[in-house]
Chain A
Amino acid sequence: MTASRLPLVARGRIVQRQTLLDKDLLYLFSYDANLEMRRDEIGFVPGGVRVNIFAKPRDTRVYHVARERTTTGSRTIQGSVEWGTDWALIRTDDIGSLDVRLTIKTDDGATIFSWYKGVFPSGDRGFRKLISEDPLVGSEQHPVEAPVYVTPHYETADPRYAWIGQHQCVGFGRIKIVKSLVRSVSFDIYAMDA
């Protein structure tokens, strides 16, 4: 029998830990998505600027960076992003707030739904730089790359990929900005596990 690691309560107060709990990240897959130039420019709303950004259908790839076919015994996810939209809010406090829905179509015919929120730290005065027309951020020759962090969930009815539905996932990625527009996104997706 192992001792409980849950918080102790002594005299009605919780005894605080002095060590950290186990943590780990398990790599699952990566994806690169080019984005459509067409986008819904909702414009200024309370707190920032809202824009809907769409993935370019069939111009994405879901793959395993190390080209492996299994992840801890389960089939790896390879395919393409069928469709996806980010209902993004570029906040006046220089934080990009992401709200994404997308579906992945695997090469062997499964459909996997994903939804997630995340953060794009647009940097000091990032809000003003992005909405300013002069100068535009990034160029075709010199696009600006910035980090982006997301926490996806996945759902599928396909039993071959049911394993992914029970994981809280995280994504470490990059966005590429050309002429103040997000041109592409790319992520490495991990399962939180310990």
Chain B
Amino acid sequence: MERATFYEKNLRYVLSFDADLGLARRASTAAEYPQRRDEVAALGAHTHVFDSANEAPVYNALSESRVLGGELAVTGHLRFLQERAEFMPSADYGRWDGRLVLYTEDRQVIEAKFDGFFRAGHRWHWVQRGESAAEGDGSVETKAFLSVRFETGSSKYKWIVGVQCVAYGLMGVLNGDLTRVTFDVYAMA
């Protein structure tokens, strides 16, 4: 028998992050790639390889110290381990996926995987053709929608492993490359 009522749906704010991927990309061309071992997952240790110049802020845009009714808010910085943008042929959207690692101010390590879509509406033709926009610095502003899952071995932030997260954001695309990105991450509840 079909339901006639909806289930409860909530998106509860967790954190925000910004990054300048263009800056990181330029830095990485000359960077050495140190390797470090981060104790991340309940399922075992993960090893991260990245360039050390690639750092971006993780913060609470509402200046809250607690989220989800009492859990410790995540603030610090992050590094992208890998990200990949696909500009879908014959479509007016792209896909973006990757991994990043968060380093909290209290020296805990949280890993994240993400994937999702980005769209630019009527400005998509600039993105598709790898051209710059005719306004501002030439970046085409796209809206992005991500699915995000976190892993950590930290007992302080264990709560974040057990929530399915999504992220709403904006991404700049300049001449076919992602530039500045900004996201708000929410827990589904």
Contact = CB atoms under 8 A, between A and B. Distances in A.
Most A-side CB within 10 Å, residue of B9, B23, B136, B164: B164
Interface stretch (B28-36, B65-73, B174-182): B174-182
Interface string A82-93: 000000000111
A129 interface: no
A143 interface: no
A109 interface: no
Interface size class of A (residues with CB under 8 A): 35 or more
Contacts of A168: 116-117, 145-147, 166
B45 interface: no
Nearest to B63: A18
Interface stretch (B53-61, B79-87, B99-107): B53-61
Nearest to B3: A65
A12 B67 CA distance: 29
A4 B139 contact: yes
A172 B61 contact: no
A6 B180 contact: yes
A63 B2 contact: yes
B11 A25 contact: yes
Interface in A39-87: 46-47, 61, 63, 65
A117 interface: yes
Contact of A30 (B3, B63, B163, B164): B3
Of the candidates A22, A150, A172, A188, the one having the most CB atoms from chain B within 10 angstroms of its own CB is: A172
Nearest to A168: B145
Contacts, number: 150
Contact of B16 (A1, A17, A95, A187): A17
B165 to A, nearest CB: 9
A194 B118 CA distance: 12
A14 B172 CA distance: 14
Interface in A16-33: 16-23, 25, 27, 30, 32
Interface in B94-133: 116-117, 119
Interface string A110-123: 00000001110100
Contacts of B2: 30, 32, 61, 63, 65
Contact of B164 (A16, A149, A188): A149
Contacts of B180: 6-7, 9, 14
Interface string B134-162: 01110101010111010000000010011
Nearest to A118: B164
A117 B13 CA distance: 20
A27 B146 contact: no
Given A18-B61, A20-B184, A21-B184, 16 more contacts: A4-B136, A6-B141, A17-B61, A18-B62, A47-B43, A63-B2, A117-B149, A119-B162, A119-B163, A151-B164, A166-B92, A168-B116, A168-B147, A186-B7, A193-B145, A194-B168
Interface of B: 2-9, 11, 13, 16, 18-20, 23, 42-44, 56-57, 59, 61-63, 91-93, 116-117, 119, 135-137, 139, 141, 143, 145-147, 149, 158, 161-164, 166, 168-172, 179-184, 186, 188-189
